[in-house]
Structure 1
Amino acid sequence: MLTVSKDGAPVTDLEPYLGAYGHLVALRGGDLAYLHVHPDGTPGDGTTEPGPEVVFYAAVPSAGTYHLYLDFQHNGVVRTASFTVTADANKDAASTSSGASPSESGTPAEHGEHSGH
């Protein structure tokens, strides 16, 4: 799950971008193997909230370091949050190596948080 915030406050009015509240790209360190993941749920389906949480499910092909890029739209601007996670060969979920949440303050490229999915 990724959480989007602005100036420390949760963003609860994300806008659909290319049909989803976010798009996640993962590049594996070393060989740049590529994953493109869409979030769980669909804008307008009656159950998917427009933030602050955006839930992604993905199985990485191997343990290692992955560079993640989250694209999301808020107030008509598409932003990209970037961060790095390490996938453990003995666990299903990646652990974060960065401690900030995707944020739209500052430059479009910010840091993110990954917890469990």
Structure 2
Amino acid sequence: MFGGGGMNPRKMKQMMKQMGIDVTELDAEEVVIRTADEELVFPDAQVTRMDAQGQETYQVVGEPESRDPSGAAGAVEAGGEETDDGAPTDESEIPEDDVELVATRAGVGKSEARDALEAADGDLAAAIARLE
């Protein structure tokens, strides 16, 4: 899990637990990182979630495949519609969990969080940044 300079992994886990850091291995099937220029797809990634004092950090280990974002981005489930810019028009496209997460992180109401998510095309980080 960690390189610890030759430290026993079990000892490292024990020390992290004493410091209040909870480490969980996730059974991820695929991880996708979208940038303006490309998508990095990790088909068989090892994902570790670390929770330290309420702040979650994710570590992704694997070999990514690079692909053009225009191919998969903007895809909409059957029955949904798109606006001229490719954004989904159906409000149900934004999961309620995302709305709650943004509302909690930014300290705002759900309505304001949903508006920020819609303005950020569902991008959690951009919505939170917009509200802070």
TM-score where L is the length of structure 2: 0.23
Task: Give the number of the structure with larger relative contact order, counting CA–CA contacts within 8 Å between residues 6 or more apart.
Answer: 1
The structure where strand makes up a greater share of residues is 1
* Greater Rg by CA: 2
